């Protein structure tokens, strides 16, 4: 019996190992995403301190992303992932121990997210560049789709688990679970036997490698327009969900961690449906589809209170098609650097977005954040259709 196209990549042993490890890591990360804001609030933190947490994480990630991409194109990507997973496990484990000991302070959390952001800056380009080494090119879209599906399952289950753990055992328990998932993921990746591409060694510096990655991006219009054009859209998403959603739940609705977990999980349901659907279909005009899903994401923000699953559906379809386009059109020996430029450009406004969102929320209320972010996303993605390089991207 022919398997559904979306699960074909699981036939490949190495991809299965990476997928299993990353699914566990994502589950733990979504558990911690509930723990961090509620830990800040429990320690007496305000909206600005909550925003500062996200700003520090994003700033740290941006500082190291370009270096991380260059390193991912120089060293075995499998080993780089193992090192970053172990480092992330140690960081979150330390937060769990400090919390259990009753000595955890807000500045500890700031240091933790700064270190975690640095680790992420190396792992993200390594994972994105490793996928083409694990599955054939013709199933890259299903491969990214099933990765997206595991992310969405984690987004659905993680916040619920995190909310229950925070409510009944405290944030430290959530941090402890997250640490365990990182260690198990590192073990899974250890058993991968990747087939790295062989590239002739050239005596270039790290700076030259980074410059080469930027040169490739800016020589390809659909790449640089989407990467840097989406920096403002991503800033709106970060502000709405990192700052706006916890405040919406606690201040506007008067609810707690459990409600926050279930509301966050609603996005995951839409993302799971989107990942399943996009992995089953063949799309020729990928650029048009990517930007249509971008518009739909903006509409999802505007209608978040009524249809929270819509934003999850559109966002994951955008992400799967975008990642597959990168993996198909970017030379494999440069994929780590281009992926890091992608994340760098997309997160360029990330450090200021949570602070701006906190100030905006104090002035106009949390619901206004979602409306503003949705309008920005719709307007900018509609402009993308004016460019032939996007309309013709296949």
Tell me what the mean pLDDT of segment 179-190 comes to. 91
User: Read out DSSP for 204-221?
Assistant: --HHHHHHHHHHHHHTSH
How remote is the C-alpha of 133 from its chain's centroid?
Answer: 21
What's the rounded Cα separation, in Å, for the pair 284 and 321?
11
Please report the pLDDT score of residue 89 as a whole number: 92
- Phi, psi torsion values for 76, nearest 5 degrees: -60, 120
DSSP-derived 3-state class of residue 229:
helix
Residues sharing a CB contact under 8 Å with residue 28, sequence separation 6 or more, in sequence order: 92, 158, 177, 178, 179, 180, 181, 182
CA 131 to chain centre: 16
Separation CA 233–CA 227 (nearest Å)? 10
- pLDDT score at 4: 59
Q: What is the mean pLDDT of residues 219-232?
A: 81
Interacting residues of 136 by C-beta distance below 8 A, sequence separation 6+: none
Task: Indicate whether 194 pLDDT > 80.
Answer: no
Virtual torsion, Cα 270, 275, 281, 282, nearest 10 deg: 120
**3-class secondary structure, 28:** helix
Q: Which of 21-30, 107-116, 190-199 has the highest mean pLDDT?
A: 107-116
Distance, CA of 114 to CA of 58 (rounded, Å): 8
Looking at residues 161-188, what average pLDDT do you find? 87
What's the whole-number mean pLDDT along residues 73-92? Answer: 88
* Angstrom distance (rounded) from CA 327 to CA 329: 6
Tens of pLDDT, residues 305-345: 555 566 667 767 777 777 778 877 787 777 778 877 887 87
Instruction: Enumerate the H helices of the chain as residue ranges.
Output: 13-42, 47-72, 77-100, 106-134, 140-168, 171-190, 206-218, 221-238, 245-247, 257-278, 286-302, 308-329, 335-346, 353-364, 366-384, 388-391
Interval 135-145 mean pLDDT: 68
**Residues of the chain with pLDDT > 90: what percent?**
7
Is the full-model pTM beyond 0.75? no
The pLDDT-based confidence of 1 (bands split at 50, 70, 90) is very low
Tokens of 279: 């992995």
Other Cβ atoms closer than 10 A to 70: 24
HSE at residue 375, side-chain half, CA atoms within 13 A, is 6
Residue 212 has pLDDT above 50, yes or no: yes
Give the pLDDT of residue 101. Answer: 87
What does the pLDDT read at residue 276? 63
Q: Residue 90 pLDDT more than 90? A: yes
User: Residues of 264-287 as b/e, b for ≥16 C-beta within 10 angstroms?
Assistant: bbbbbbbbbbbbbebbeeeeeebb
d(CA 22, CA 31): 14
DSSP state for residue 198 in the 8-state scheme: P
Quick one: pLDDT at residue 304? Answer: 63
Count Cβ atoms below 10 Å from residue 180 Cβ, excluding itself.
Answer: 15
What pLDDT shows up at residue 87? Answer: 92
The region of weakest confidence among 41-45, 223-227, 346-350 is 346-350
Segment 144-156 shows an average pLDDT of: 69
Q: Could you tell me which residue, 142 or 178, shows the higher pLDDT?
A: 178
pLDDT for the residue numbered 333:
76
pLDDT mean over 143-170: 75
| Per-residue confidence band for 269, with pLDDT thresholds at 50, 70 and 90 | low
**In this structure, how many other beta carbons lie within 10 angstroms of the beta carbon of residue 354?**
26
Whether the pLDDT of residue 349 is over 50: the answer is yes
- pLDDT value, residue 152: 67
Q: Which two tokens stand for residue 137?
A: 């090119």
42's tokens: 């429990």
Q: Which of 53, 15, 298, 2 is nearest to 134 (CA)?
A: 15
Q: Which of 156, 155, 154, 178 is nearest to 166 (CA)?
A: 178
Query: Is pLDDT of 173 > 60?
Result: yes
Cβ atoms of residues 275 and 26 within 8 Å: no
Rounded to whole angstroms, the Cα distance separating 389 from 114 reads 37
- Name the residue with higher pLDDT: 166 or 147: 166
pLDDT band at 211 (very low <50, low <70, confident <90, very high): confident
């Amino acid at each position: 019996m022919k398997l559904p196209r979306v699960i074909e990549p699981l036939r490949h042993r190495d991809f299965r190992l990476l997928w299993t490890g990353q699914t566990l890591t994502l589950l733990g990360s979504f558990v911690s995403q509930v723990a961090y804001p509620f830990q800040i609030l429990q320690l007496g933190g305000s909206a600005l301190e909550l925003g500062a947490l996200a700003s520090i994480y994003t700033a740290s990630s941006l500082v190291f992303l370009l270096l991380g991409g260059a390193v991912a194109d120089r060293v075995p990507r499998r080993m780089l992932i193992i090192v970053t997973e172990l480092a992330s496990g140690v960081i979150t484990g330390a937060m769990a121990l400090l919390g259990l000991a009753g000595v955890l302070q807000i500045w500890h959390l700031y240091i933790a997210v700064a270190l975690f952001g640095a680790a992420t800056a190396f792992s993200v380009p390594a994972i994105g560049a490793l996928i083409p080494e694990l599955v054939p090119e013709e199933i890259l879209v299903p491969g990214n789709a099933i990765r997206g599906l595991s992310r969405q399952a984690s987004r659905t289950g993680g916040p619920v688990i995190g909310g229950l753990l925070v409510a009944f055992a405290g944030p430290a328990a959530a941090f402890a679970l997250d640490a365990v998932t990182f260690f198990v993921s590192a073990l899974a990746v250890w058993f991968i036997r990747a087939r790295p591409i062989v590239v002739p060694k050239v005596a270039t510096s790290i700076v030259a490698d980074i410059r080469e990655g930027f040169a490739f991006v800016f020589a390809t219009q659909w790449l640089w327009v989407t990467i840097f054009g989406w920096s403002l859209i991503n800033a709106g998403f970060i502000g709405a969900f990192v700052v706006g959603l916890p405040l919406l739940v606690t201040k506007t609705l008067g609810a707690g961690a459990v409600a926050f977990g279930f509301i966050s999980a609603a996005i995951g349901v839409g993302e799971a449906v989107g990942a399943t659907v996009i992995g089953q279909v063949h799309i020729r005009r990928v650029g048009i589809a990517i930007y249509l899903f971008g518009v739909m994401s903006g509409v999802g923000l505007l209608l978040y209170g009524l249809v929270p699953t819509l934003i999850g559906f559109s966002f994951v379809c955008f992400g799967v098609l975008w990642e597959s386009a990168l993996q198909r059109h970017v030379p494999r020996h440069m994929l780590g650097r281009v992926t890091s430029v992608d994340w760098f450009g997309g997160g360029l406004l990330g450090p200021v977005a949570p602070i701006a969102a906190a100030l905006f929320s104090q002035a106009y209320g949390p619901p206004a954040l979602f409306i503003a972010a949705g309008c920005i996303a719709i307007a900018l993605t509609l402009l993308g259709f004016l460019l032939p390089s996007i309309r013709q991207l296949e």
